[in-house]
Structure 1
Amino acid sequence: MVRGLIGGTGLGVRLIRSSGLIFLGFSASQAIRLGSNLILTRLLYPEAFGLMALIIVFLVGLTMLSDIGIAPSIQQSSRGDDRSFINTAWTIQVIRGVILWLICCLLGVIAAWGYGEDQLRAMLPVAGLSLLISGFDPTRIETASRHLSMGRLTVLDLLAQVVGLAALLILVWIMGSAWALVIGGVLSSLIRLVIMHTLLPGQANWFHWERDAAVELITFGKWIFLSTLCGFIIIQGDKAILGKYLSLEALGIYNIGYFLAGFPQALAGAVMSRVMIPLHRECPPGTSAENYAKVRKSRALMTATVLTMQFVMAFFGVWLVELMYDQRFVAAGSVVTAIACMNIPYLIGMTYEYAALGRGDSRGLFHLLLPKAMGQTILFILGLSYYGLPGALAGVWLSQIITHTLVIRLARQHGAWDPWHDLIYGMLGLILTGLALWYHWGELALLGTFSTAQ
């Protein structure tokens, strides 16, 4: 059996093998990040993490707001192995990277004025170089995902991260400021680019433009662009808003808690984006009972795994923070519990979004994410205005429950909805959320102190 999993070529074998490799690779990656994070908290002050959180909001925002879906296009298109198609996609990706860096140069001035932090004026253009560099990443990365060939890619990703983090820690030790985090991020992007170009097998990219390929990419990508605009609001909107509401110190502490609580969600996203899209492309659940059964089994396993990890964070996150961080960051424990519980409704319906992408329905995904982003933002701001940070996080949780009806509608359109999956995990999620909040009710009172930080 082990030999079959290692060398087999069937879809099921490739699915299991790729999921396992992504899980191991991402877990190792997060362990490395956590270790470096613990070291960095000993070398830097909380304000540095708050400043870097603002920079990341801008970088992630620009990345998501300019995303035209090159990765999912290569994964789901019938031309995903065509060299002309791939090189046209790479050319668009490079042009996008150049434009993003130029925008970063402009945003440095705007961000410095908007947040009252003069350091952002110079930091954002330098940090934006990472976006320019990433634009040259080879499309061999997406080709490997398309064919569920994740072995070497996973190893190279880890290698790039280890080397990049080593460079970062050296910079922080020498410089002892937030500038080290900025420059380290640029170096990490450069190191990853060199490693992928040098060690990942496959044909090199070159500049090329084919009109038909560009039309297909842009037609599919225009809805991805709008979807990632909504995705940015959903994923990064809290930190963008809290950047004006909290002090840099409080924002830095919040961001550490968010990192720990978001591990299961980030892992689920990494696995599903690489596995569920090819699965739905090759086994569309709406076309046969056999395909539906395969997808249903995979969905149930993924949801069970990610919810187990999420509740581990909800129950034990407070103790992890107390064990690993010093007293300056102890309030992050309350953030871990609150956010871990807040994300449960989203994780239950997460796989359905990839059913749409696997079938090339980027428009349907946008029609789901737009009301989700609007609802979450409105309830987050209302909760923040009346009840501080606890109210804001409760607003996000409530918005996810309300908009799950839209998730169901999208899943039904592609024959992917599994009502028993939603009912069982939904009831389990409510019970365990209530237990986690009751058990840590005293620690959650610390969330109120974030609201008064100025």
Structure 2
Amino acid sequence: MKSGIWATITNILDRGLQLLMIAILARMLTPADFGLLGIALLTLTAFKRFSNIGFDQALIQNASGNVDDYLNTYWSIEILRGLLLAGILALIAPLVAGFFGEPRATPVLRVIALTPLLLGLRNPGIVYFKKNLEFHKQFVYTMSGSVTNFAVALSVALATQSVWALVLGYVASDAARMLASYAVHGYRPWPDFDVEIARDLFGFGKWITGSESVYFLINQGDDAVIGWLLSAASLGLYQVAYQFAKAPATEISQIISSVAFPAYSKLQDDIPALRSAFYQTLQVTIVIAFPASVGIAVVAPTFVKAVFGTDWLPMVPVMQLVAVYGLLIALGSTYSPVWKALGRPDYMVKLGAFRLVVTALIIVPVTREFGIVGAAAAVLGVYVFPVMPIDVYLVIKSVETSLGRLLREVSYPAVASLLMGGVVLWLQATLSLPWVFLELLVLVAAGGAVYGTAVLVFETQLNWGLRETLRNFAGAI
């Protein structure tokens, strides 16, 4: 649990800086500027995901506490991969720009192409941060890039008010993390390649490669469709809406995957202990994810007017749909670490492939007809059915639990969040304050008070058990 505290702090500060930066830059840049960066990052992420061999996950899952013998081979492969990706991205930049109908994306992508090489040069010893649950070191490593991104992006934006603020901030963050990796961990790599080690790592990593590839298409295939069918401005609106509406779910998912997987891996031979850890993780996840997602969906119109301004109002319905989707993804984030810890990452690949096929059948016609709102609705709808029921069935089978217990755990924060949402909707319809930002603060405060009261009633009157979980969590600080 102590590692979870550090992971939580890291992710909150990292994402908080990122969202604050976006909110500030949204007043200085245009949706099209964000869309140009989105095109470049979409292309970069595609190549990174499809070439991710999953060696870092294999090293974390390895039962041995010391994996030094693997690190030089791992580092050498990552450098070669970084060089290859950088070269390919620089060469195909004009083709990508032509595909999306945005010639301005060519130089942006060529500069972004530096980042795979920077990541490849990182100290491979950072794998120990997650393997040994040393998240205080992960905090230093991660925040070095976050602070650099914030400072560089704002400085360049003040000077140029152009997309280069976003681009240079992104590249600078990866450069800072590369340098920090050597400052924080004492391992010093040397170029080497051992065929047996590479083969051993690939045995586990091949499923991570498949999972990464499939989930890229699922999570960002809609971005590609929007960039292709609509415009850079539409893509900018869609991506910013996603980043804010899905932020709680994204952070929870990252914390769960970074902490739960290595922790569960140590319990892979003890199903009762794994089941207990799963339910504690689920409880902490949903008590945060439910109110955050319901709250975002309800206050989205007021939030966009207060933070971004009226030019960004077209993204309100997207935020509302994505908030619901984010809640479901946060719940799902508690399942995949169980499957990986039990040596079944193939579940993720197979489920993802099925979900991808169903989404691909509907997203293009729906986006043509309904724009960015249609794309968001398609992504949400496919996950609700048929994917989510299969997810639930597999996790119940994996930890040997029951559907009744799972639903009982989810019901408490669900009811409390719906009560909160109803009160906030009523206030939003009746309030008439002179400043929209003040109205937003009142809505958030009222929602928090209603949810907190409902949770307190459920805990004291219905014996929810949240207090014990939170006491364990706090005792680890």
TM-score, normalised by the number of residues in structure 2: 0.82
Task: Please give the secondary structure, in 2, of the residue aligned with 1:40.
Answer: helix
- Structure 1 residues 434, 257: closer, same or farther in 2, change over 3 A? farther
Residue 239 of structure 1 aligns to which amino acid in structure 2? Answer: D
- Structure 1 residues 421, 388: closer, same or farther in 2, change over 3 A? farther
1:270-294 C-alpha deviation (Å, 9 max, x unpaired): 212211111221113x734233223
Residue 236 of structure 2 corresponds to: 252
Partner Cα separation in structure 1 for residue 135 and residue 235 of structure 2:
36
Using the TM superposition, name which of 243-252 and 146-155 deviates more: 243-252
Using the TM superposition, name which of 338-347 and 255-264 deviates more: 338-347
Partner Cα separation in structure 2 for residue 190 and residue 258 of structure 1:
26
- Structure 1 residues 35, 254: closer, same or farther in 2, change over 3 A? same
Q: How does 1:107-256 map to 2 (within 5 A)?
A: 107-198=92-183, 200-256=184-240
Contact preservation (8 Å) 2:7, 2:135: yes
Using the TM superposition, name which of 29-38 and 75-84 deviates more: 75-84
1:81-120 C-alpha deviation (Å, 9 max, x unpaired): 2211122222222211111112212330211211121122
Residue 353 of structure 2 corresponds to: 370
- Structure 1 residues 240, 80: closer, same or farther in 2, change over 3 A? farther
- Structure 1 residues 420, 279: closer, same or farther in 2, change over 3 A? farther
Partner Cα separation in structure 1 for residue 382 and residue 420 of structure 2:
21
**2:358 is equivalent to residue 346 of structure 1:** no
Task: Please give the secondary structure, in 2, of the residue aligned with 1:403.
Answer: helix
Residue 342 of structure 2 corresponds to: 359
Residue 33 of structure 1 aligns to which amino acid in structure 2? Answer: Q
Partner Cα separation in structure 2 for residue 290 and residue 357 of structure 1:
16
- Structure 1 residues 87, 311: closer, same or farther in 2, change over 3 A? farther
TM-aligned CA deviation for residue 148 of structure 1: 0.9
Using the TM superposition, name which of 387-396 and 323-332 deviates more: 387-396
TM-aligned CA deviation for residue 243 of structure 1: 0.6
1:389-446 C-alpha deviation (Å, 9 max, x unpaired): 433322222211211233234325533555235434379769968996995999xxxx
**2:279 is equivalent to residue 278 of structure 1:** no
Residue 67 of structure 1 corresponds to: 52
Using the TM superposition, name which of 377-386 and 159-168 deviates more: 377-386
Partner Cα separation in structure 1 for residue 107 and residue 22 of structure 2:
24
Residue 45 of structure 1 corresponds to: 30
Residue 291 of structure 2 corresponds to: 308
Using the TM superposition, name which of 126-135 and 159-168 deviates more: 159-168
- Structure 1 residues 426, 390: closer, same or farther in 2, change over 3 A? farther
Task: Please give the secondary structure, in 2, of the residue aligned with 1:351.
Answer: coil
Residue 448 of structure 1 corresponds to: none
- Structure 1 residues 238, 152: closer, same or farther in 2, change over 3 A? same
Partner Cα separation in structure 2 for residue 42 and residue 390 of structure 1:
23
Partner Cα separation in structure 2 for residue 222 and residue 69 of structure 1:
7
Partner Cα separation in structure 1 for residue 202 and residue 49 of structure 2:
15
Residue 78 of structure 1 corresponds to: 63
TM-aligned CA deviation for residue 357 of structure 1: 1.4
Contact preservation (8 Å) 1:355, 1:416: no
Residue 451 of structure 1 corresponds to: none
Partner Cα separation in structure 1 for residue 158 and residue 291 of structure 2:
37
**Identity in percent:** 22
1:230-250 C-alpha deviation (Å, 9 max, x unpaired): 110111111110012322222
Task: Please give the secondary structure, in 1, of the residue aligned with 2:335.
Answer: helix
Residue 42 of structure 2 corresponds to: 57
Residue 19 of structure 2 corresponds to: 34
Contact preservation (8 Å) 1:368, 1:410: no
- Structure 1 residues 88, 430: closer, same or farther in 2, change over 3 A? farther
- Structure 1 residues 202, 273: closer, same or farther in 2, change over 3 A? farther
Residue 38 of structure 1 aligns to which amino acid in structure 2? Answer: A
Residue 22 of structure 1 corresponds to: 7
Partner Cα separation in structure 1 for residue 235 and residue 421 of structure 2:
24
Using the TM superposition, name which of 411-420 and 432-441 deviates more: 432-441
Contact preservation (8 Å) 2:291, 2:417: no
TM-aligned CA deviation for residue 299 of structure 1: 2.2
**2:335 is equivalent to residue 317 of structure 1:** no
Q: For 1:332, which of 307, 315, 323 is the aligned residue?
A: 315
TM-aligned CA deviation for residue 189 of structure 1: 1.0
Contact preservation (8 Å) 2:151, 2:169: no
Contact preservation (8 Å) 1:264, 1:309: yes
Gaps of 5+ in 2: 430-477
Partner Cα separation in structure 2 for residue 40 and residue 388 of structure 1:
25
Gaps of 5+ in 1: 1-15, 443-454
1:162-213 C-alpha deviation (Å, 9 max, x unpaired): 1232122222222332133223321221111112212x13312222222221
Task: Please give the secondary structure, in 2, of the residue aligned with 1:343.
Answer: helix
TM-aligned CA deviation for residue 298 of structure 1: 2.0
Residue 455 of structure 2 corresponds to: none
Q: For 1:295, which of 251, 259, 278 is the aligned residue?
A: 278
Residue 251 of structure 2 corresponds to: 267
Partner Cα separation in structure 2 for residue 311 and residue 350 of structure 1:
18
TM-score, normalised by the number of residues in structure 1: 0.86
Aligned-residue CA RMSD (Å): 2.7
Partner Cα separation in structure 1 for residue 371 and residue 105 of structure 2:
27
TM-aligned CA deviation for residue 386 of structure 1: 4.5
Size of the aligned set, in residue pairs, is 425
Partner Cα separation in structure 2 for residue 22 and residue 38 of structure 1:
24
Partner Cα separation in structure 2 for residue 209 and residue 400 of structure 1:
41
Contact preservation (8 Å) 2:59, 2:127: yes
Partner Cα separation in structure 1 for residue 103 and residue 244 of structure 2:
29
Residue 7 of structure 1 corresponds to: none
Using the TM superposition, name which of 167-176 and 56-65 deviates more: 167-176
